[in-house]
Amino acid sequence: MTRTRRRRLMLVGGLFVGLAAATALALTAFSENILYFYQPSEIVAGDVPTHTRFRIGGLVENGSVDRNSDDLLVRFTLADCQASVPVQFRGTLPDLFREGQGIVAYGELNESGQFVADEVLAKHDENYMSPDVADAMKDESGESCMPTNMQAKR
């Protein structure tokens, strides 16, 4: 490699490393604001300020879904391994919404400790399979109370 080429390579490499470092710093600074959600146990423990809007992520508890056909109000509880929070939502739910599903809701807590959501998003996991295989796997897998894809990263 000639001298000029080595110099150009160093220049390009140096520029790249510098920018990568700057990006890494910027990302660490901003990372907290990207789809940050609290888990139900943190809310029950009082770690979340009241009268602010925030996201809550957890599993829809089995048997907790109560649909009111008159006014489209849906009540359910969101749970992680330690605690659960009652949620109410008025609107159309995503097709993946079901009991045991991980969801992320956006809204705020009211005085009685109910989470009033105005947005409910379903989060699906990275597994793809046919219904037959899913049935077969249900028996052997000890369902976790909070799968890794729903655990908030801090």
Partner 1 sequence: MLWLHRFGSLPYFYRVSRPIAIALAVPGVLLAAYGVYGGLVNAPVDYQQGDAFRILYIHVPSAWLSLFGYTSMAIAGVVALVWRLKLAEIFLVAAAPVGASFTFLALVTGAIWGKPMWGTWWVWDARLTSELILLFLYLGVIALHNAIESPRTAARACALLSVVGVINVPIIHYSVEWWNTLHQGPTVTRFGRPAMEMDMLWPLLCAALGFTLMFGWLTLWNMRAQLLWRERRSRWAKKVFSDA
Closest to 146 measured CA to CA, from 59, 62, 84, 85? 59
Closest to 36 measured CA to CA, from 50, 18, 49, 55? 55
Looking only at residues 67 through 106 of this chain, which bind partner 1 when binding is defined by CB under 8 A?
A: 92-97, 104
Sorted by sequence, the CB contacts under 8 Å of residue 55 that are 6+ apart come out as 35, 36, 37, 38, 104, 105, 106
Tell whether residue 144 is a contact of partner 1 (CB under 8 A). Answer: no
Task: State residue 87 phi and psi, 5-degree precision.
Answer: -125, 140
Can you tell me the distance from the alpha carbon of 136 to that of 140, in angstroms, rounded to the nearest whole number?
8
Tell whether residue 122 is a contact of partner 1 (CB under 8 A). Answer: yes
Please identify which residue in 14, 25, 27, 45 interacts with partner 1, judged by CB under 8 A: 27
The annotated binding site for heme is made up of: 124, 128
Of 47 and 113, CB closest to partner 1: 47
Please identify which residue in 3, 29, 130, 142 interacts with partner 1, judged by CB under 8 A: 130
Tell whether residue 126 is a contact of partner 1 (CB under 8 A). Answer: yes
**Residue whose pair of structure tokens reads 């739910």 in the numeric block:** 93
Please identify which residue in 48, 65, 83, 152 interacts with partner 1, judged by CB under 8 A: 152
> What six digits make up the tokens of 102?
């991980």
Contacts to partner 1 by CB under 8 A: 5, 8-9, 12, 15-16, 19-20, 23, 27, 31, 34-37, 57, 92-97, 104, 119-134, 149, 152-153
